[in-house]
Amino acid sequence: MQSVARIIAQRLGLGLVTLFFVSVIIFAAVNMLPGDFAQAILGQGATPEAVEAIRRDLGLDKPPITRYFDWLGGVLQGDFGTSFAAANFRSFTGAETGSGLGSVAAQVAPRFENTLFLAGVTAAIAVPFSLILGVLAALFRNSIFDRAANIGTLTSISSPEFFLAYILILFLAVLNPMLPSLSNIYADMSFGERLERTLLPALTLTLVVTAHMMRMTRAAIINLLASPYIEMARLKGISPLRVIVKHALPNALAPIINVIALNLAYLITGVVVVEVVFVYPGIGQLFVDSVKIRDIPVVQACCLIFAAAYILLNLLADILSILSNPRLRHPK
């Protein structure tokens, strides 16, 4: 157990170092974007004095290194800064900040919660569906079902997300009005109504991530079917389905866990297109809206959350793979 704890601690330390370097890249990339927020807000007719005044109010006149460490220090305290758009609105209207008004964290938190809800619904559909499909494809290997499942999943993963979204909207919202085409959810909505409006984007994401998990499950199980203990189970007269589910699947968990975690990370970091298509009020939609108006603190916060979620889920996959594989738990 001490070796496992040491390995987990090493992975967590490596994740923190990776996140630090990613934060540097995010800050540098966002601040290298063409254009200027103050100029974009005031328009082409703005005077240099007015532009400089807004830049000074927002702290954009400070050196980049100073702004980076100010931002990083705030992030470590849970403060992602103040939205440029909200700060500009207050400067024009004289409105008070109130309780968190204009705070990037206050804007991001409900949107991130909505994205997690969408990812959770998608995972609840996609993971069992992919595992069942992978087990059946391995059980009926090289059959018509296996070939149809492979063709269907490869077709879905090869199609752009917006194309799959519009196809589902056409068939499930226009021709057969079963689900709403717009996912405009809000805070006081009941769970059932929220689930109904989230189902169509969740089905779109399910089509995107199913192929990876299904094919990895199929490949991992088929790779184990030639093992001696599987042959012994077959010689004992155990049914093929029980051989796969009870003997092959538990020993194939490590690669399956890895691909599931990677796809769960994608559900959080890769939902931008789907959220825009369905006007879903998640962090991806907020990210796109903030890029349009060059709201740098919000863009930085969204990118950092995407990176942290991806790194955390990869670390989780690594740790679960170690715990599920005795050879990795005891490398000697």
Contacts 24+ apart (CB under 8 A), 232-240: 240/139
pTM for the predicted model, two decimal places: 0.82
Residue 47 Rama label (left phi>0; alpha psi -120 to 50; beta): beta
267 part of a folded domain: yes
Number of domains in the chain: 1
The whole-number pLDDT of residue 331 equals 55
Residue 79 Rama label (left phi>0; alpha psi -120 to 50; beta): beta
pLDDT in tens, 140-156: 888 899 899 888 888 88
The whole-number pLDDT of residue 1 equals 54
122 part of a folded domain: yes
Query: What three-state secondary structure class fits 82?
Result: strand
Task: Give me the domain span that covers residue 229.
Answer: 110-292
99 part of a folded domain: no
**How is 237-281 classified by DSSP, letter by letter?**
T--HHHIIIIIIHHHTHHHHHHHHHHHHHHHHHS-HHHHHHTT--
Give the CATH number of the domain where residue 195 resides: 1.10.3720.10
The whole-number pLDDT of residue 36 equals 66
What's the sign of the alpha-carbon dihedral 286, 290, 291, 293?
A: positive
200 part of a folded domain: yes
Q: What's the burial of 152, exposed, middle or buried (CB within 10 Å: 0-12/13-18/19+)?
A: middle
The whole-number pLDDT of residue 45 equals 66
161 part of a folded domain: yes
The whole-number pLDDT of residue 35 equals 67
Question: Which ranges of the chain have pLDDT less than 50?
Answer: 91-94, 97-99
User: Contact at 8 Å (CB) between 248 and 224?
Assistant: yes
80 part of a folded domain: no
42 part of a folded domain: no
Tell me how far apart the alpha carbons of residues 68 and 53 are, in angstroms, rounded to a whole number: 21
262 part of a folded domain: yes
